[in-house]
Every structure is written in C-alpha cells, then in structure tokens.
Amino acid sequence: MDHARHQEHGMGTAHPGAHGGHNHAAMIADFRRRFWVSLALTIPILLLSPLIQHLLRLEAALAFTGSSYVLFALSSAVYFYGGWPFLKGLFAELKTRKPAMMTLIALAISVAYFYSSAVVFGVQGEVFFWELATLIDVMLLGHWIEMKSVMGASGALEKLVQMMPSEAHLVAPEGMKDVPVANLQRGDRVLVKPGEKIPTDGRVIEGRTTVNQAMLTGESQPVEKGGGDEVIGGSVNGESSITVEVHKTGSETYLSQVIEMVRRAQESRSRTQDLADRAALVLTLTALSVGGLTLAIWLVLGQHFEFALARMVTVMVIACPHALGLAIPLVVAVSTALAAQHGLLIRDRSAFERARQLQAVVFDKTGTLTEGRFGVTDVVVLGGYAEDEVVRLAAALESQSEHPIAAGIVAYAKAKDIGFEPPKEFKAIPGKGAQALVNGRNVKVVSPGYLEEHGLDVSDERIAALASQGKTVVYLLIDEKPAGAVALADIIRAESREALARLKGMGVQVMMLTGDSAAVARWVAQEMGLDDYFAEVLPGQKAEKIKAVQARGLRVAMVGDGVNDAPALVEADVGIAIGAGTDVAIESADIVLVRSDPRDVAAILELSRATYRKMIQNLWWGAGYNIVAIPLAAGVAYSIGLVLSPAVGAALMSVSTVIVAINAKLLQRVRLTA
C-alpha cells in the first residue's frame, strides 16, 4: 500500500533545503534570520513607495532626489536575500515537474521585481516593490511558523543507539575490568550487576535473575533467566548479578536489527502533496494563462504596451495572495498550540492531517492499554481462610522481596488498606518463591512448580480459569498447606475502556498488538471489547502486522511506547507514541501523547478533523477571492471604467488575510474531551 508518510512537499518543506538531510533546526534558523532581515528592510521600502506615500499623504515629507534608486536597492536586497529560498524552490519544483507553492511565490515576486525595476529605469508604469517585500515577509513568516510545528524523526536512530550501555564489566583471566562495549568479541564473558543494562546479546552462564525486556520485546512481565538462557542487549537486569557470554556484537545484535528496520521504514516513506500546493498549482496555471492572455488581448485591442504590461503584472501579483501563504500555517500554529495545551505534541503535520481519515487504531498492549506493571486481579481463598487474611499474610512475606510479583501483592494490600507486619527469617526459594515467619506461622508464597515438586495438589476450577487467561498465579502456603491463590496480570488502564469506546463511536476499529501469549491477549481483548488482536508477535513482526491491517484497505494508526514498537510506528499511516515510553518510540512517532492517556488518541482524531475543516475554509478565503479579483485586474470591466488597481488589489488581499487569521483563531473554540 502506498500510504502517505512524512511529507516533504508542503509549503514549509518544498524548497531544496528540505532535502538531502539538511539539519532541520538550521533550516528553521535560516527562515527566521531571512524573515527578520527582510522585515527590517521592508519598513523603509514602504515609506519610499509612491503608493504608500500617497495613501499616507506624506509625499512632500518622504520624497527626495534619487529615492527611487534607494527603493530599488533595498528591494533588490529583499528579493535576492529574502526571496532566495523561493527562487531555489522554483527550480527544484520545475526540475521535478511539480510546480506548487514555491513556483507561485517565485513567479509573483519575480514579475513584481523585474517589472518594478524596469519602471525605475524608464518604463512607464507603477512600482510593486512594497508588494514584493510584504509578500516575501509573509511567505517567510508562514514557512517559519510551519517548520517550527513540524519536527523531524531523525533522532530515532540516535535514541536507539543510546539504549546500549557504553561500557561492560569484562571478566578476564587477570580479573574484571571495564571495557567499551564496542570492544567486546564473541565468546567474551561479562558481569552484569543488578539494575544494569545487559551490554549485548548473549547467554547466561552463571547466576539467576529476572530481566526486564518490556521496552525491547513488549513482554509485560520480567522474564526469569538462568544458566543457558538467551538475553538481549539493552534489557535491564533484575535483582541478582549474572555472568553473560557474548554471542552477538555490532550489527548482529537484536537492537541493531531494530535500528535497521526503523531506518529502512523511514527511507521507504512515500510523499503526498499538500492542500496548499494543489491550490498553488491551480493559481500558478491561472496566473500564467490569464496573465499572458491579458497582455495579448490588450495588445490586439490596440492598447499601449505599457498599459497591457501593467494589466498583466497586476494579474500575476494578485494571483499570489498573502492570505494563501498564511492559510495553512496559521491553522497549523493554532492547532499545534491547542494540541500542546492538551498534551498532544504534533511532530509531523502531514501525518496529523491524515489522522482525520483513520479507519483503524492498533494499540501496543504493555504500557499503552495497560500500565506495564504487575497487579493483583483476583484472590482465591482455600481452606476456609478469609480473603483479607490471605492478602495480609502474602503481603507481609512479600514486603521483603523486590520481585515484581511481590511489589504487585504489596501494592494491592496497601490499596485495600490491609495492614501487615514485617516477617522474620525471610528466605528466597530460588526460582520458586519465598518463605518467612509471620506471626509465628510458616508462610510461603510459591509458584505452581513448587507445588508439583512437593506433591501438593490444588485442583480448583477458579484457579484453572485464571491460568487459562494467561495470568500469573502464585500460591500462599501456611504451614505447608494451601491457604489461597493470588492471580496477577498487567493492569488494564482505567482510561483504556473509555478511549476505545470513543474511537468506536467515531467509526474507527480498535486492535491490539502484543508479544504476550495468546491467552493473555484473548483475556485483554475480551475485557476491552477489541475488534481484533495479534498475540505472540515478535518485535520484528510488528511492522508486518501493520502492513497486514493496511492490506485490508484500512488507514492505520499505531500507538506504542517501546523500542520494539518503533518500526511499526514508522510503518503506520500515523505513528502515535505514549509519552511515558522510551525516547526512541517518541522519536519514531508522528504524534506524542505526553500524558500517556490512551483517551488522547481520540482527541487527536477530533482535533485533526476540526483542523482540516479550517484548512479547507481558509484555502477558499485565501484563494477564492481571485475568482473576482483576477478578471477585474485583467480589465474585463475596463469598458465601464472599472479597473482593479494595485491599491484596491492590496486592500482585497488585506481583507482576505484578516479573515483567514480570524478563522484560524476560531479553531481555539474546539473542545477536546479527555
């Protein structure tokens, strides 16, 4: 599917500087600098222009010998310095045979400049220098505003690389020493301490721990790792030190492969034309054809060349209204500011515009629809104990452990306001749980494996049903007898249900991608009423799943927060990052939800639709008055003494610009429910 990606053709980026990897910030700074210099030069240009002097009745005060040459010199500086990006853009668009906004701007300023220069040096007519200068000012301002609202995703690869630690603890014959990760070779052994990132892909050869690789693989729960288990570079070691034998280095590693996928996906983005570009193309063809026709007809009718030329130039200049140059940027600026107030950061404008057409939203599960942390979902009592007693004893024991399951049980007890005492003689049961004395009783919280190992049979339909949902179930033993079971799972966000309901109400299908098991995915899908879900999806397959949904003929948004989501975020028609996620997911996305609230996905669609309506309205205001102005400028009503002069044309432009500005500001009245 040739779906649109990060546009490079719109008003703000069609000039050559937008291509070839030029620094985005440098381009913004360049437009800013050219705008302020041109604006400073425009003030004396206005004061020296005969038409402005006449309107202000300051001819006597401001006129002096040689003023027309000073006006010519100042206007030349604005034309060649301020107008340079548009002149470059003209050649770039003609080279690709896609004339658009740059062609229209360059055409208008060039006709105004060369005609006005000819008037200074003897040709009969009026100078358009003040229109030339103000047109360049407005267009530079429009580009500056627009480019500031569009941030490139070029930082994604850098953020990915930064996930890897720079040094590793190499276990060498002469002792342990810190070395750069880049120096590691296959077969080297490295020590990874608790809380540290694993430096590269390898296999555990000593020690046992849990590894948090949620940001890399999307698995919601830390994974137990012991002798012989594979570990991924960039994942975070849990509670114990481990020794890892290096198996992959450099470009072979999992993270490097993800980097390559993001790079390829970014390069494969297709282009789409901007609304303003299409309007500009129509106006360009209109200006050229009507301008040339005007000159020819007046000459055929026997008018002087100077009169015919003046009519042609007036048509050409009026055909590039100031309002059209601001029609899109003003709406973009207002919608970007409005979005930012609601915690929606728009990184790519064209993708934001496409959001109005979305037909499906695919959510990553862990950390997006869910909180990305273990929490208690069910408590099953056995042997006549009360539920609060089961929770109290389990929390007392687990209060001494740093394991994620333990943290979930303790947090649940605190949320239920169930108090507990610290245990005595706490001991970990490696790979199986923990035990301690609580109020003089021997209490254990153990895995199903411990029960099997010790021949303890707990057959209960309730527990079997919980396990079938993919939940993690641990058992509370009191004096070696089962007293209860606690089921834990990745907690579903309270806001997720509302978010999905709002999207469905807008006619959008909601789906889920996860690296978790089919059982876990099925449970979440049923709980939330999803239209579809994809389970056990390996990181490298996420972008493929997005393509598969697109192959159904749907325009798709991807919402995620992890490194493993980055290729899918780039592949989707619109990539949306949950702000609490990794920097790389944010850098790969078109839109960032700062508040990490899935309801904001619906807010994005609402704002996109409202923004598009304003853009269409503004384009009509910005270009629509040409339907009246261009024929009058050409002189169709000359026989009845009605000819549109440059001054009246300027007044019409001003009115159109004001209307466009007011209409853009009205976008602020949009209420984003969240």
Q: Is the pLDDT of residue 545 over 90?
A: yes
Q: Is the pLDDT of residue 218 over 70?
A: no
364 a catalytic residue? yes
pLDDT at 22: 46
Report the topology of domain 165-199+201-247: 2.70.150
Give the Cβ contact number of residue 423 at 10 Å.
22
3-state helix, strand, coil split of the chain in percent (to 5) is 55, 20, 30
Q: Is the pLDDT of residue 586 over 90?
A: no
Give the Cβ contact number of residue 47 at 10 Å.
16
pLDDT at 13: 35
Q: Is the pLDDT of residue 607 over 50?
A: yes
pLDDT in tens, 59-85: 767 778 888 899 999 999 999 999 999
pLDDT at 376: 92
Give the relative orientation of helices 129-149 and 67-77 as an angle to the nearest 10 degrees: 20
pLDDT in tens, 493-518: 888 999 999 999 999 999 999 888 88
Q: Show me where the domains of the chain are located.
A: 16-149+272-340+609-669, 165-199+201-247
Q: Is the pLDDT of residue 15 over 60?
A: no
Distance set, CA 301 to CA 115, 296, 304 (Å): 22, 9, 9
pLDDT at 342: 76
pLDDT at 558: 95
**What stretch of H or E contains 325?**
helix 322-341
Q: Among 341-355, 389-403, 630-644, name the most confident range.
A: 389-403
Instruction: Pick 33 or 469 by higher pLDDT.
Output: 33
Sorting pLDDT into bands at 50, 70 and 90, what band is 23? Answer: low
Instruction: Pick 376 or 311 by higher pLDDT.
Output: 376
Calculate the average pLDDT of the chain.
81
The sheet that has 209-212: what strands, in order across it? 223-225, 209-212, 236-237
Instruction: Pick 537 or 540 by higher pLDDT.
Output: 537
Q: Which of 201, 274, 364, 597 is catalytic?
A: 364
Q: What is the reported pTM?
A: 0.58
Q: Is the pLDDT of residue 93 over 50?
A: yes
Give the Cβ contact number of residue 125 at 10 Å.
15
Q: Is the pLDDT of residue 350 over 90?
A: no
- CA-to-CA distance for 350 and 347, rounded, in angstroms? 9
| Under 8 Å between Cβ of 9 and 99 | no
